[in-house]
Amino acid sequence: MASPKLFSPLTLGELKLSNRIVISPMCQYSADENGSMTDWHKIHLGHLALSGAGLLIVEASAVAPEGRITSGDVGLYSDDNEQAMARVLQSVRAHSPMPVGIQLGHAGRKASCQAPWEGGAQLSLEEGGWQTVAPSAVPYQDGQRPPQAMSLDDIEQLKANFVASAKRAERLGFELIELHAAHGYLLHEFLSPLSNQRDDEYGGSLENRMRIVLEIFDAVRAVFPDDKPVGIRISGSDWVEGGWDLEQSVELARALDARGCSFIDCSGGGLDPRQTLNVGPNYQVPFARRMKQEVAMPVIAVGLITEPEQAEGIVFGGEADAVALARGMLFDPRWPWHTAAKLGATVHAPKQYLRSQPHTLKKLFG
């Protein structure tokens, strides 16, 4: 039987992955009140790092305090944040060779919210919330406190914040950075004409709406080592008429490709509560499929990818170079093991777990 494509090596920039399974960044809403990681993150990231995936990306880490979705979000904007993250990474790396990247982002107008298990509603200032910022003073939902429209000085500070966080990421030894320009957060808000109603050089035309994303990519790329990949996650569409769509996403991807972007991770939606979409297996894979036709950089697919044959089909069929799993990995943290067993591949496992290998699968652990 031919070796499954899903378990073949992949290179992002100069970073070599042992297979094409990526663990998506997943917010845990479990940082302390200052945005620093806690013991929960040691447990969460530690067991995911034993899964045999090719790459683990740490949850969206805010580049500024006001960029957190909730007060429990992780940040990478202070020395305390950096030191707490260093302690977590030390534990993870002591027991796993898996490459670890980080997603850097800013929640924009979707910040200052409760944790999902508390309802996820926007917090008032009296409840401990904070003033949100956005390209324009357009709230995410009717009735919410409007965000503050960012000035040009605010935009320059945002770029400086991304650079500062990228430098911290390098000091921490992260092997990859993913910029978060999806799911309705700040960089996505600049891209979409639904949330960006500016009349300056950062609004209006597609070129202007893309400007801040390209400038931040260039600034982060300039301070992160050349041999380490910098990529991006985008929403392929707002799924709202008149919003950000696949054709605009292609133009952004081409511009990033020309700048040496290392990979593009294709998700969707999250910008507007009016979105209409049919959620089902592979529902976002068409974004990746189109990107594969348009750019040279590796493309990562997402979208309710849960079954081994499903993931192998996406990669083997050339729809994407890799697949990224989020909720599927939370539900089954050994998904890469089980997938390797199903497809007849080998996967890395810690020596402490080698004796768990079923007698019928003696070649499962390489």
CA angle 5, 282, 6 (to 5 degrees): 10
Q: How many Å apart are CA 83 and CA 226, to the nearest integer?
A: 24
How many Cα atoms sit within 13 Å of 65 on the Cβ side? 9
Q: Are 200 and 211 in contact (CB under 8 A)?
A: no
Task: Select from 120, 104, 26 the least CA-distant residue to 71.
Answer: 120
Q: How many Å apart are CA 337 and CA 331, to the nearest integer?
A: 14
Q: How many Å apart are CA 15 and CA 225, to the nearest integer?
A: 12
Q: Give CA 299 to chain center in angstroms.
A: 13
Task: Select from 111, 222, 210 the least CA-distant residue to 163.
Answer: 222
Q: Which amino acid is at 92?
A: V
Active site annotation includes 283 = no
Q: Are 15 and 229 in contact (CB under 8 A)?
A: yes
Residue with token string 């939370």: 330
Tokens of 155: 């935009």
Q: How many Å apart are CA 300 and CA 22, to the nearest integer?
A: 8
Cβ neighbors of 39 (< 8 A, separation 6 or more) are: none
Catalytic residue among 29, 140, 185, 202: 185
Q: How many Å apart are CA 181 and CA 282, to the nearest integer?
A: 21
- List helix spans (H) across 96-126: none
Residues with catalytic roles: 185
